[in-house]
Amino acid sequence: MAELPMSTHLFARLLSRVHAVCGALIEEGALPAGIDLSRIVVEPPKDASHGDMATNAAMVLAKDAKAKPRDLADKIADKLSAEELIDQVAIAGPGFINLTLKPAVWAEALRAVLDAGTGYGRSTIGGGEKVNVEYVSANPTGPMHVGHCRGAVFGDALANLLDTAGFAVTREYYINDAGAQVDVLARSAFLRYREALGEAIGEIPEGLYPGDYLKPVGEALKAEHGAALKELPEARWLPTVRAKAIAMMMEAIKGDLAALNITHEVFFSERSLIEGGHNRVAETIEFLRAKGDVYQGRLPPPKGAPVEDYEDREQTLFRATAYGDDVDRPLLKSDGSYTYFASDIAYHKVKFDAGFANMVDVWGADHGGYIKRMQAAIQAVTAGKGALDVKIVQLVRLLRNGEPVKMSKRAGDFVTLREVVDEVGSDAVRFMMLFRKNDAVLDFDLAKVIEQSKDNPVFYVQYGHARGHSIFRNAREVVPDLPEDSKERAAMLRQAPLERLNDPAELELLKRLALYPRIVEAAAQAHEPHRIAFYLNELASEFHALWTHGRDLPHLRFIINNDAEITRARLAMVQGVVSVLASGLAILGVTAPDEMR
């Protein structure tokens, strides 16, 4: 049998019991020895009326067992019915097994939340495996715009999520400081340098960066070099100006990221691949050539749409088609310089050689056509031992009350990330950038994301956390010894008679809390942090709805003045909600306020 990851949450416990039942059937000869149990899942049924959990065990094992799914389901269900956690077992359709758990299970699940606090949901499924998440990697040619913002938030939340799931995560930024665009940056900065020296530069020429953000670079160059650079030919001043401009742009980018509470452990320079006496790009090409994956050849003319890097000449090509790509890919340009692709292969080989067999790249919407060639290259340079998952982050449409937002004067042709964060705050930006799947276009309305209403998810979720703390403050009249410290409060409340939480709405809330660790694991395995945002919104919605029920039905209020015991039990439930909301918000990089101001 496949070994289960170490995990103690309720769904993992039920999965282990299903595995144990299948193990018993193997011993009895009803299932063949060595049968693969890894495809078995235990998950919530699509229809809640069918029970608390469902398993596909009979469906996925029937073929190997040479049995009808329904007949195998009968055998599995018969043994599961004897399990202490399970109240009822029912077979549905062609062989799905639905499970209804005993009511006491949910009280124990709440105690598990109270014991773990904000650590509830942490998992060991990553097993400490190293994973490199490369995100943002905006060209250092200007301030970050709102499109970069989405990739930055997504990558950072994904890194947090993988860390929570037990992976050893390195957050990396790849500085594109070796291409033609940084020479354009240098020429643009040199123009601002001349302006700082008192020249009238007139309108910014076509092809240079027009934004005012390069004026400080010009001033810095003047302060450092006086008028000396002006007397030099371009070949002499360009490296100096380029280095200064890149350094200042990267400082600005790091400042923009800091405004979103984003930091990277590694900033990797593309230029370092070929400078410093160690040309890793050349080494990588020769490594692939020795394997037979690089050859001299001529590509056929592209059929249909033009290919951006096609040249009708004999050239150095990577045999990408041997690894699933559509065409072989050039590694050298006609002037002998490396293609971006060649540098990217070398860069990812550096990652793999550093121990990162598991790599995630977060790219913008315009890079989708680049995925197949990079995954082909990863297969080649790692001998199939490395994996690259590319997450495409789609465009952001910036609106204000439904109308498109005008461009920034400072940036020249876009709205900067800092302008958005300064207007609506980091929390609203981060949550709403994650409240839609990364590969779907996102409408970000500056007016709506700061509304204090249930239609604004970030407010609704944060208000859920604050409401919980408001309940604790109000409860001290009935439970005067209720600690202010969350750990002490949880330790006290776990002794409450949690079995009294038996109203259907209360049980649904407990079930939602019990689901959280499985959501974390599934989101981490799929590289989809938006699942956490969706879950938190659902949890907050159920919590607010239960609070509203108490206003309409006094016996369901969280605080019952003449019944301290049910009050303690409901406070335990509130503590569970507060802990899970805080945990999920931390993954998203959003604060969990005790009060809404």
Sign of CA dihedral 105, 109, 110, 114: positive
Q: Kindly report the backbone phi and psi dihedral angles of residue 185, in degrees, each rounded to the nearest multiple of 5, phi listed first.
A: -60, -45
What whole-number distance in Å separates Cα of residue 255 and Cα of residue 245? 15
Task: Locate 170 and state its tokens.
Answer: 């390195």
pLDDT value, residue 118? 95
pLDDT value, residue 411? 54
Task: Locate 439 and state its tokens.
Answer: 């590969």
For the chain, list residues with pLDDT below 70. Answer: 1-8, 304-309, 407-413
- Spatial neighbors of 512 by CB under 8 A, at least 6 apart, are 538, 539, 542
Are the C-beta atoms of residues 114 and 576 closer than 8 Å to each other?
yes
Check residue 293 and report its DSSP letter.
-
pLDDT value, residue 1? 27
Are the C-beta atoms of residues 194 and 218 closer than 8 Å to each other?
yes
pLDDT value, residue 306? 63
